């Protein structure tokens, strides 16, 4: 059984084929302009914040305190894939809760000047557990799911794996 990470959660809500490729350590092209833009936004935004806490399948972009609570935040370049981002952040909150760390979350979208609060609810926990099962099913297959053309494909760093 492979370990589920926040990145796999993110990809699951966009494309199951990406989940399989990432889980099997077939990393996307790192010279993809959108990956580079995401890195730049992450590095240049919120410079005073504490950045990058990494542990056990989690790479939290920003952490700190807000109103006496631990705050974990995920920085995204746009709100285009809001459901995917929300579930990734919910995964971090879920993992922290499992080790008795109560936290609240925020999605930060600097180019849009948005801060979207994310709280872990029982409904989100149930959805995550269903997502874990679905991801395990995808990554246990011998071959990746067939490519399906979606709106994300043109920007995808994995497009060479699907549409060459």
Q: What angle do CA 78, 21, 84 make, to 5 degrees?
A: 30
pLDDT tens profile 146-159 = 999 988 888 788 87
Domains of the chain as residue ranges with CATH = 6-162 (3.90.320.10)
- Local confidence band at 34 (pLDDT 50, 70, 90 cut-offs): low
pLDDT at position 51, please? 62
Give the Cα separation of 28 and 22 in Å (integer): 8
Give the Cα separation of 109 and 64 in Å (integer): 17
- Local confidence band at 89 (pLDDT 50, 70, 90 cut-offs): very high
Give the Cα separation of 163 and 158 in Å (integer): 9
Place of tokens 């099962």: 133
Alpha helices in 1-81 (DSSP H): 6-12, 16-23, 33-44
Q: Largest Cα–Cα distance of the chain, in whole Å?
A: 51
Give the Cα separation of 42 and 108 in Å (integer): 10
**Pairing assessment for the beta strands 114-118 and 103-109 based on DSSP bridges:** antiparallel
């Amino acid at each position: 059984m492979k370990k589920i990470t926040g990145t796999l959660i993110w990809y699951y809500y966009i494309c199951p084929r990406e989940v399989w490729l990432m889980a099997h350590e077939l990393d996307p092209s790192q010279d993809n302009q959108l990956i580079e833009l995401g890195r730049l936004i992450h590095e240049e935004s919120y410079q005073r914040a504490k950045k990058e806490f990494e542990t056990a399948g989690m790479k939290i972009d920003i952490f700190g305190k807000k109103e006496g609570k631990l705050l974990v935040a995920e920085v995204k370049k746009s709100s285009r894939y809001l459901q995917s981002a929300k579930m990734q952040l919910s995964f971090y909150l879920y993992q922290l809760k499992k080790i008795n760390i109560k936290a609240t979350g925020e999605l930060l979208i600097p180019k849009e000047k948005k801060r979207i609060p994310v709280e872990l609810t029982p409904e989100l926990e149930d959805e995550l557990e269903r997502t874990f099962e679905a991801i395990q099913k995808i990554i246990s297959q011998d071959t990746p799911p067939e490519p399906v053309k979606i709106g994300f494909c043109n920007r995808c760093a994995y497009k060479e794996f699907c549409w060459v």
